[in-house]
Amino acid sequence: MLRAIKFNIRTKIAIGYFLILICLGVSIVAVTDRIQGLQNEVETITSRDVDVHNLIASIQYDAINMETAQRGYIITGDKSYLDPYEKGKSEWETSYNSLYAYLSDSPATQKELESIKMMIQDWINQAGEPTIAMKEQGRDADISAFFQDDIGKQRMDSLRTKFDNISTQQIQSTRLHIVDLENKNRTLTIGIYILLLVATIISFMIVSFVSNSIVKTIKQVVRTITEIASSGGDLGTRIKVNTNDEIKELGDATNQLLSSLEAQSWVQAKVAEVATMTQGINDLEVLAKTFLTKVAPMINASYGVFYIRRGAGEQQRLDKLSSYAGSGEEAGKSSIQFGEGLVGQCAMEKRIFLLNHPKDHSPLITTGLLQLEPSSVLMVPIAYEERLEAVIEFASLQSFTTQHLKLMEEIEKDFGIAVNNISGRMEVERLLSESQVLTEELQMQQEEMRMTTEHLEEQYLVAEQKTKELEKAKEELEDYSEQLRKSSQYKSNFLANMSHELRTPLNSILILSQLLGENENRTLNEDEEGYAKVIHTSGTDLLKLIDDILDLSKIEAGKVVLTIDEVNLTEYPELMKLTFNPIADKKDIAFNVHLADSLPDVWYTDGQRLQQILKNLLSNAFKFTETGSVNLRFEQADEGMLAISVTDTGIGIPKDKQKLIFEAFQQVDGNTNRLYGGTGLGLSICSEFARLLGGYIKVDSTVGQGSCFTVYLPQLTQEQADSIQLAIQESAAAEEQFALSAPVHEADEEEPAATESEASGSDFAGKKVLLVEDDARNVFALVQALESKKMQVTVANNGRRCLDILRDDADFDIVLMDIMMPLMDGFETMREMRKQPQLQAMPIIALTAKAMKSDRDKCLEAGASDYISKPLQMDQLFSLMRVWLTKQVGN
């Protein structure tokens, strides 16, 4: 009951002081009482001795007065002498009684007093009264006879002796009392010292008890904290305080701190266990199973599922990888879309979800005998660098505690790294599987080499000689490799230069043939106009041949840049129909496009390369098909491949020629070339592009019945695209890569050409054009084309001449600048022009016959307003000029 009462330290100290004061008070009271008793005894002894002596003196005085009065009366006969006698006779007995009472503690003295009383009475009866009576009777003779014996005197003398003895006894008694008082006083002094000592001891005991009750508890707290703070201290230790004071509050607060530290230590220890667990694991499924087996008991979970992220973009989903205490197919969904249910929402928001006491839930946790409903469900996202990697779901028969949630929060911070690392390692292992096979073979070879060490030692001199021969052969191979590299570089440079040299005369051919074919002035007859159109068509075919050669050259040099993105397959039917319906209608051939229902709308690949493959295959199909149909079909093949088939009812391909047709400049035979035309480069380009996209082309054909070309393409992930791109970059040469096709054709596909009515409008009339071109053929063709639009053309055959003309007259609306010129090329000329303030805003359109990818950037950096490559299509050139002339007017 007393323990329930709260005594704080101040109260304990106050109680201790109070008890000490009580001890001191009791001691003072006891000493004071004893001193008062001694003082009373001293006063009693003093007053008693005085009274005894006074009473003895009074009795003795009365006896003497009676004797004196008796003798005076007998001698004088005067009655006045009898007054003292009567007074003494009446008073002595009163004094005697008082004295007798005082001496009650001394029986011996009382006996003396009794003999004194008898003697006084005898004197009165035998001496005093008889003699007075004799005197009164005048019997003097009797009186003389009486005094002769004087019995009375004897008695008085005896009486005096008795009184002296009593006085002496009283004096002795008083001395004994004084000695007794001195002894008592001495005893009192010793008692006071003893009492003070006892009080001091009791006070010390009280102080010790109070201080121990405080210090002992504090030492216990300090000792416990010191033990815990020491290395390897047990955080499970708790401070037990029996007191109910501030120390108990300190102990309780310390216990709360220990509980918090123990919880933190538990969380850190478990996190360390999980981190250690992941070491040495190289498989995601093993990681998932190990994680669930390790973590589920930590948080008292009776069920768990590990979901891993699959797919990318909108196709992301969660696939079940492993389960803990699961029961067949009911152990979690096999796949969950992002945002589907709480698990999908957990993946979307990347935060922990906790569901307590779910209602109307079917039994989930099973034993051999029971099926139990969970009391709490916990969903934890695992992310790495803000990207979700996995979601883990736990269920428990008990509610998850705050400590469990804290543990999962700490685990999810680092576990995502392990998941990401193992995913990366698995991908690396997959990519390096072939290397491992080679490594095993190398190890076998090394084993064989160890077995033949003795033989090798015997053949050391021979091997040394062979080594020298191999080194010489290596040098020869290196020289040969360098020659091949230079040959490849020469080939690339040759193709680039040949492209320029071919495009330059081709430019004038196309421009002049186009002008003649349009026959605006009606100066040509119908046959001559047809000749001009044939010349323009032939030039266009020649340009297509140049583009195909450049495509193959680029592929062989490893200069292809893949751009992987979402390709909407549903757009291809309309796109292909828009391009090939006119050809089908012209040849009266049915053209059908079909998309399979199971085909996804989006496919990840290079859309530009896919479109070029389809155009080449369809062009090939229409070229070799005279009657019947051409069918284009999109469907999904096995192993997740996209299968695109182009089926025709054309001439067909013999079995022994089906591999040959994918080589450059090859067709089925010379007759087909003469009959149908073409360069034989289209299928070769298609095959190379399919290979670069990770796929291949399969052909199935029967002579006279038709052919079916099927392109198989995988759905590329970003990682696979990067791998392909890396392989391309490693095999690429250091030269500038060739463009896939001339920009003029890209412009033809992307924007419609200007109509004749637009080109013949008033936008160009009276405009002053400065044409900078060194090739006379191109100058003649361009001047004719420009002047046909009522423009004023001034020609400069090199860059220096251009600067001289502009220095004299800068009133030009636009400049057409060729790049490859003698004395001063177009790049340097444009840089010099832009240095002059009055020429900084003048529109400059660069013209070049080189089809290098970096030409456009170089032209724009040098100061060109826009860029167009040769051979020029005049409709495109006029459209480009109209844009810049309009801007110039607006400014």
Q: Are residues 407 and 472 in the same domain?
A: no
Residue 537 lies in a domain: no
Tell me which H or E stretch contains 571: none
Place of tokens 């583009």: 547
Range scoring the smallest mean pLDDT among 375-379, 477-481, 785-789: 477-481
Strands (E), 311-436: 317-324, 335-337, 353-356, 365-366, 371-372, 376-384, 387-396
Instruction: Output phi, psi for 710, to 5 deg.
Output: -115, 125
Q: Are residues 375 and 423 in the same domain?
A: yes
Q: Are residues 192 and 292 in the same domain?
A: no
Q: Does residue 452 carry a pLDDT above 90?
A: no
Residue 261 lies in a domain: no
pLDDT range class, residue 850, cuts 50, 70, 90? low
Tell me which amino acid residue 529 is: E
Q: Tokens for 99?
A: 């004295």
Q: State the burial class of residue 801 (Cβ atoms within 10 Å of its Cβ: 0-12, 13-18, 19+).
A: middle
CB 770 within 8 A of CB 816: yes
Task: Return the axis-axis angle of helices 246-277 and 284-298, rounded to nearest 10°.
Answer: 160
pLDDT at 83: 80
Range scoring the smallest mean pLDDT among 431-440, 712-721, 742-751, 780-789: 742-751
pLDDT at 321: 87
- Average pLDDT score over residue span 145-170: 70
**What residues contact 210, with CB distance under 8 A and at least 6 apart?**
12, 13, 15, 16
pLDDT range class, residue 560, cuts 50, 70, 90? low
Strands (E), 325-430: 335-337, 353-356, 365-366, 371-372, 376-384, 387-396
Q: Name the nearest CA neighbour of 845 among 869, 824, 866, 870.
A: 866
Q: Are residues 692 and 762 in the same domain?
A: no
pLDDT range class, residue 645, cuts 50, 70, 90? very high
Q: Are residues 672 and 793 in the same domain?
A: no
311 half-sphere exposure, CB direction, 13 A CA radius: 13
Place of tokens 């009184």: 163
pLDDT at 673: 42
Q: Name the nearest CA neighbour of 788 among 426, 516, 606.
A: 516
Residue 858 lies in a domain: yes
Q: Does residue 676 carry a pLDDT above 80?
A: no
Q: Does residue 606 carry a pLDDT above 50?
A: yes
Q: Tokens for 390?
A: 């996995």
pLDDT range class, residue 362, cuts 50, 70, 90? low
Model pLDDT for residues 410-428, shown as the tens digit of each residue: 888 778 888 888 887 777 7
Domain boundary among 731, 752, 774: 731
- Spatial separation of the C-alpha atoms in residues 47 and 53, rounded to whole Å: 10
Residue 237 lies in a domain: no
Q: Name the nearest CA neighbour of 874 among 696, 744, 741.
A: 744
CB 210 within 8 A of CB 13: yes
Residue 553 lies in a domain: no
Q: Does residue 361 carry a pLDDT above 60?
A: no
Range scoring the smallest mean pLDDT among 10-24, 336-350, 498-512, 588-602: 498-512
**What residues contact 15, with CB distance under 8 A and at least 6 apart?**
7, 210
Distances in Å between the Cα of 673 and the Cα atoms of 172, 659, 708 are 175, 17, 20
Q: Does residue 76 carry a pLDDT above 90?
A: no
pLDDT at 232: 56
% the chain with pLDDT above 90: 10
pLDDT at 547: 66
Residue with more model confidence, 496 or 276: 276
Domain boundary among 196, 213, 230: 213
- Spatial separation of the C-alpha atoms in residues 298 and 631, rounded to whole Å: 63
pLDDT at 711: 92
pLDDT range class, residue 794, cuts 50, 70, 90? very high
Q: Are residues 620 and 507 in the same domain?
A: no
* DSSP code of residue 596: -
Q: Tokens for 617?
A: 């295959």
- Spatial separation of the C-alpha atoms in residues 288 and 318, rounded to whole Å: 14
pLDDT at 491: 59
**What residues contact 546, with CB distance under 8 A and at least 6 apart?**
499, 502, 503, 506, 742
Q: Are residues 885 and 743 in the same domain?
A: yes
pLDDT range class, residue 84, cuts 50, 70, 90? confident
**What residues contact 69, with CB distance under 8 A and at least 6 apart?**
81, 82, 83, 84, 85, 86, 88
Q: Which of 31-45, 162-176, 302-316, 637-651 has the highest mean pLDDT?
A: 637-651
Place of tokens 């090859």: 666
Q: Are residues 878 and 822 in the same domain?
A: yes
**Other C-beta atoms lying within 10 Å of the C-beta of residue 399:** 13
- Average pLDDT score over residue span 812-841: 90
**What residues contact 287, with CB distance under 8 A and at least 6 apart?**
278, 281, 418, 419, 422
Q: What is the CATH number of the domain that holds 355?
A: 3.30.450.40
CB 311 within 8 A of CB 640: no
Residue 443 lies in a domain: no
CA 616 to chain centre: 53
Distances in Å between the Cα of 157 and the Cα atoms of 115, 483, 556, 684, 807 are 14, 179, 176, 182, 185
DSSP states of 453-468: HHHHHHTHHHHHHHHH
pLDDT at 160: 72
Residue with more model confidence, 99 or 396: 396
- Average pLDDT score over residue span 83-101: 77
- Spatial separation of the C-alpha atoms in residues 655 and 705, rounded to whole Å: 13
Instruction: Output phi, psi for 36, to 5 deg.
Output: -60, -40
Please provide the average confidence, as pLDDT, over all residues in the chain: 76
pLDDT at 364: 60
Tell me which amino acid residue 732 is: A
Q: What is the pTM of this model?
A: 0.33
pLDDT range class, residue 745, cuts 50, 70, 90? very low
Q: Does residue 654 carry a pLDDT above 60?
A: yes
329 lies in which domain range?
Answer: 278-431
Asked whether the bond before 573 is cis by omega within 30 degrees of 0, the reply is no
Q: Are residues 711 and 655 in the same domain?
A: yes
% the chain with pLDDT above 70: 73
How is the beta sheet containing 768-772 ordered, strand by strand? 792-796, 768-772, 814-818, 844-848, 866-869
Model pLDDT for residues 280-305, shown as the tens digit of each residue: 788 888 888 888 888 888 888 888 89
- Spatial separation of the C-alpha atoms in residues 789 and 887, rounded to whole Å: 19
Model pLDDT for residues 205-241, shown as the tens digit of each residue: 877 777 776 777 777 777 777 776 664 556 666 666 6
**Other C-beta atoms lying within 10 Å of the C-beta of residue 387:** 10
- Spatial separation of the C-alpha atoms in residues 466 and 473, rounded to whole Å: 10
**What residues contact 600, with CB distance under 8 A and at least 6 apart?**
569, 636
pLDDT at 845: 93
Q: Are residues 126 and 62 in the same domain?
A: yes
Q: Does residue 841 carry a pLDDT above 50?
A: yes
Range scoring the smallest mean pLDDT among 163-167, 243-247, 656-660, 704-708: 243-247
Q: Tokens for 318?
A: 């969660």
pLDDT at 5: 55
Residue with more model confidence, 559 or 74: 74
CB 842 within 8 A of CB 814: yes
Place of tokens 């390096």: 432
- Average pLDDT score over residue span 861-868: 90
pLDDT range class, residue 648, cuts 50, 70, 90? very high
Q: What is the CATH number of the domain that holds 569?
A: 3.30.565.10
CB 628 within 8 A of CB 649: yes
Q: Which of 68-72, 631-635, 745-749 has the highest mean pLDDT?
A: 631-635
Tell me which H or E stretch contains 655: none
Q: Name the nearest CA neighbour of 302 among 211, 195, 380, 376.
A: 376
Place of tokens 């000490």: 20
Q: Does residue 590 carry a pLDDT above 90?
A: yes
Distances in Å between the Cα of 701 and the Cα atoms of 649, 657, 659 are 10, 10, 12
**What residues contact 735, with CB distance under 8 A and at least 6 apart?**
489, 492, 493, 557
Instruction: Output phi, psi for 841, to 5 deg.
Output: -95, 0
Instruction: Output phi, psi for 843, to 5 deg.
Output: -65, 130
What's the total number of domains in the chain?
4
pLDDT at 796: 93
Q: Are residues 148 and 282 in the same domain?
A: no
Residue with more model confidence, 55 or 681: 55
Q: Are residues 568 and 511 in the same domain?
A: no
Model pLDDT for residues 525-559, shown as the tens digit of each residue: 766 776 677 677 766 767 666 766 665 566 655 55
Domain boundary among 731, 747, 769: 731
Angle at 500 between CA 497 and CA 501, to 5 degrees: 85
Distances in Å between the Cα of 82 and the Cα atoms of 95, 119, 153, 352, 607 are 20, 20, 18, 136, 174
Burial per residue of 749-771, b for 16 or more beta-carbon CB atoms within 10 angstroms, e otherwise: eeeeebeeeebbeebbeebebbb
- Average pLDDT score over residue span 6-27: 71
Residue 447 lies in a domain: no
Residue 289 lies in a domain: yes
Distances in Å between the Cα of 390 and the Cα atoms of 345, 347, 379, 384 are 13, 8, 11, 10
Q: Name the nearest CA neighbour of 512 among 531, 529, 532, 530.
A: 532
Q: What is the CATH number of the domain that holds 839?
A: 3.40.50.2300
pLDDT range class, residue 629, cuts 50, 70, 90? very high
